[in-house]
Structure 1
Amino acid sequence: MKNITFADAQNLKNPIFIDIRSPREYAEDHIEGAINLPLFSDQEREIIGKIYKYEGVSQAKLAGLNFLSPKLPRLVKEILAYKEKGDIVVYCWRGGLRSLVFTEILRLVDIYVYRLEGGYKSYRQEVVRFFETAKTLFPVVLYGMTGVGKTLILKKLAEKGLPVLNLEQLASHRGSVFGHLGLLPQPSQKRFESMLYDVLKELKGFPFLVEGESRKIGKLFLPKELFQRMQEAPVILLELPEEQRIKNLLRDYQVDKIDIKYFLESLQSITVYLGRAKVESLSEDLKKGRFYEFTKTLLREYYDPLYKKSTAYLRNIKKVISGNDIDELVAGISEYWGEFTGRDLK
């Protein structure tokens, strides 16, 4: 067993991070790509915590040993399998007892692995530091009215090899009042920041494309420094005809495939903006399957007026790209990108 910092672990030829924390701790956040081999289940960890609180350290350690012992043959076998593929780096919450005990057990059977200094907390500190030095990030922001298709555009640009940060994809939210419908639950704030970190550090300071967002996406917040860089960034303004934007929204939200009760619930939250009579009219459209009319009304009377009030981005527009569909916008951005990245970005 050898202690190693997170920075040095990144320089290993093929680091394989093994997260031995409980499943709940792992789900909250973890090093990107880490494999969860928990020493204790969530319930076991809770029991050990209670024993520690009411009976003391020694009794808690004994309880932990009782839980761990039957699992050791399986855990060792799994470590051996991963060790054939790269350098094992084991970590727990803060480089404490769990990782120390496990790596010592492995050493006793002649299996030598790295132990991450500071555990997950050292990784988390690196993520926080990264965003505190966000001046090394060079976003180029795509703006456009609701329905222009920015998330799909970014996906298509990524397929072409352009550097992108797809915020709505990472956040599992479309950034609107109905943005959560039909998607997986949002990650935790820490998990979101870790995913952002993993994408951005690979860009190594190169300019990247990102959609224009408010700082809050669903329940999640963009790191303050990243959001500030986006506010100051060059802007590409995208334009599509209203008819095409309606078609894009109907495709993205799959209104006909999601129980309308979820749309009706979300609709209530914008009563303060539209008034009760308009919300009741929109609710009636939903109930009668008039999804086109529902979407068109929302665009004209809610989304577009909100968009037009947010004019801060106007001073940074470097290019306006218009088209009749998403593919035309993708082509226009791709053509402009080479020209843009040849400039002095400072």
Structure 2
Amino acid sequence: MYDVVATHSIDIEDFFKLRKQFPVIDVRSEGEFESGHIPQALNIPILNNAERVAVGTDYKQKGQLEAIRTGFRLVGPRLPEIIDAAQEVGEEFIVHCWRGGMRSNNFCQFVGMARQKTHQLKGGYKAYRQAALMSFEQRFEITLLSGSTGSGKSEILRALASQGEQVIDLETLASHKGSAFGGLMMPPQPSTEQFQNNLFEKILTLDPSKRVWIEDESIAIGKIFIPQPLWRQMNNSPVIEIDVAKEIRVQRLVNEYGTSNRDQFLEAMTKVIKKLGGQHFNAAKEKLLEGDMASTIDILLTYYDKAYRNNLDKKLSRVISKVTWTGESVDFVTAQLM
């Protein structure tokens, strides 16, 4: 007889405490994991993508009992591989599937026979997602950092964070800089679900009684949308404007995008043809093909500056201050803001 180590069932509150001590194993399929997962969780699927489809098909066509049999038949040959992978993680860990049901329970039973200690998350990944979505309803003392394109808002946010200020860097979390050119030289964007999970993890570190700095963004950052409750808070928060002369912004943007792939930059330009206007687009394209990035960006700012001013005009009642910056010492700006 196998002496199976009993698993310990934990709720979501216990999960947040225990994960500081133990690794987290997500036993859902690799496809589910890729769509969205708990950051730092390790994926050891008890059913892989193809097996999950097979079990689901049998469940629909033949019923639960036959689906269970199919699952055991498919998993059986891979049990040594699953147990070996779990042992590489450690001797004790947290386990979850989608709803804290059969998959995580079976996984815990299997590795328990190998004398590994497990904590099974009640409600599974679904419980984590519910906590994430609830966190976006939480009230924060938000201050928005605004400024024309090229004003260095991301640099300022990083400097504020390094000085101990609370910052939510939405563009870093979304892996996109917000504009039509925001995906250039950036890693692929996460799924919306994964973005929300990453945002939730950041929110967990914040003190709601203290100020939180966020860049003044559109609701969409590339293909990702800011959660509606947080977006509503941002739309009612005070705004501080960073004012940087156009020629300085042009140079900053040249430094940022000057090494980008020319074809990809041109493709991004086509996304704003209508807003930029055909004449301006053709002029910018000509300068780009000549290798004159400064003139290209100068023309593009014709559209972006106008769009920024129109957007800021709608928020004038919320603008509490304006800081003029030469684009040199970021410490000067942070001193003014703090």
TM-score normalised by length of structure 2: 0.90
The 3 A distance-change label for structure 1 pair 236 and 51 is same
Measured in 2, the distance between the counterparts of 1:7 and 1:57 equals 32
1:197-276 to structure 2, matched below 5 A, reads 197-205=200-208, 206-254=210-258, 256-258=259-261, 260-276=262-278
Q: 1:344 — aligned with what?
A: none
Amino acid at match of 1:167: L
**What's the counterpart of residue 37 of structure 2?**
30
Report the Cα distance in structure 1 between the residues aligned to 2:85 and 2:235, rounded to whole angstroms. 47
> Partner letter of residue 321 of structure 1?
V
Partner amino acid for 1:8? Answer: D
Look up the SS of the partner of 1:184 in the other structure: coil
1:39 lines up with 2:46 in the alignment:
yes
Q: Cα offset for 1:150?
A: 1.1
Within the candidate set 1, 12, 16, 1:10 is matched to 16
Q: What value does the CA root-mean-square deviation take over the aligned residues?
A: 2.0
* 1:124 matches 2:124: no
Where structure 2 has 5 or more consecutive residues not aligned to the other structure, the ranges are 1-6
SS in 2 for 1:38: coil
Identify if the C-alpha distance between structure 1 residues 236 and 15 changes in structure 2 by more than 3 Å, giving closer, same or farther. Answer: farther
Unaligned runs of 5+ in 1: 338-346
Q: CA deviation at 1:193?
A: 1.0
1:19, distance to aligned residue in structure 2 (A): 0.5
Q: Distance in 1 between matches of 2:110 and 2:250?
A: 60
Residue number in structure 2 paired with 1:343? none
Q: Which AA in structure 1 matches 2:250? A: I
Aligned to 1:308: 309
Partner of 1:52: 59
Pair 1:100-2:105 in alignment? yes
Displacement of 1:335: 5.2
> What is the identity, as a one-letter code, of the residue corresponding to 1:144?
G
Report how far residue 326 of structure 1 moved.
Answer: 4.9
Task: Work out the percentage of aligned pairs sharing the same amino acid.
Answer: 33
- Residue 235 of structure 1 aligns with an amino acid whose one-letter code is V
Matched, 1:324 2:334: no
CA distance in 2, matches of 1:169, 1:39: 32
Aligned equivalents of 1:108, 1:326: Cα separation in 2: 62
For residue 284 of structure 1, what is the aligned residue in structure 2?
A: 286
Contact map agreement 1:138 1:229 (CA 8 A) in 2: no
| Displacement after TM superposition at 1:81 (Å) | 4.1
Provide the rounded CA distance (Å) in 1 between the counterparts of 2:95 and 2:277: 56
The CA deviation string for residues 62-89 of structure 1, in whole angstroms up to 9 with x for no partner, is 33223322332333234334345xx521
Q: Which residue of 1 aligns with 2:3?
A: none
Residue 143 of structure 1 and its aligned partner are, at CA, apart by 0.5
Which residue type is aligned with residue 171 of structure 2?
Answer: E
Higher helix share goes to which structure?
1
Question: Is the 1:153–1:326 contact (alpha carbons within 8 Å) kept by the matching residues of 2?
Answer: no
Superposed displacement of residue 18, structure 1: 0.9
The 1:62–1:327 alpha-carbon spacing in structure 2 relative to 1, beyond 3 Å, is: farther
Q: How does 1:76-95 map to 2 (within 5 A)?
A: 76-84=83-91, 88-95=93-100
Q: State the alpha-carbon separation in 2 of the partners of residues 244 and 48 from structure 1.
A: 60
Report SS of the residue matched to 1:203: coil
SS at match of 1:297: helix
Decide whether aligned partners of structure 1 residues 296 and 118 sit closer, same or farther in structure 2, where only a CA change above 3 A counts.
Answer: same
| C-alpha separation in 1, matches of 2:23 and 2:335 | 36
The superposition leaves residues 29-49 of structure 1 with CA deviations (integer Å, 9 ceiling, x where unpaired) of 111221111223223322332
Whether the aligned pair in 2 keeps the contact of 1:149 and 1:326 (CA below 8 Å) is no
Report if aligned partners of 2:237, 2:318 keep a CA contact under 8 Å in 1: yes
Number of residue pairs matched? Answer: 329
Q: Is the 8 A contact 1:157 1:334 kept in 2?
A: no
Contact 1:148/1:238 (8 A) holds in 2: yes
Q: Which amino acid aligns with 1:76?
A: I
Q: Which amino acid aligns with 1:26?
A: F
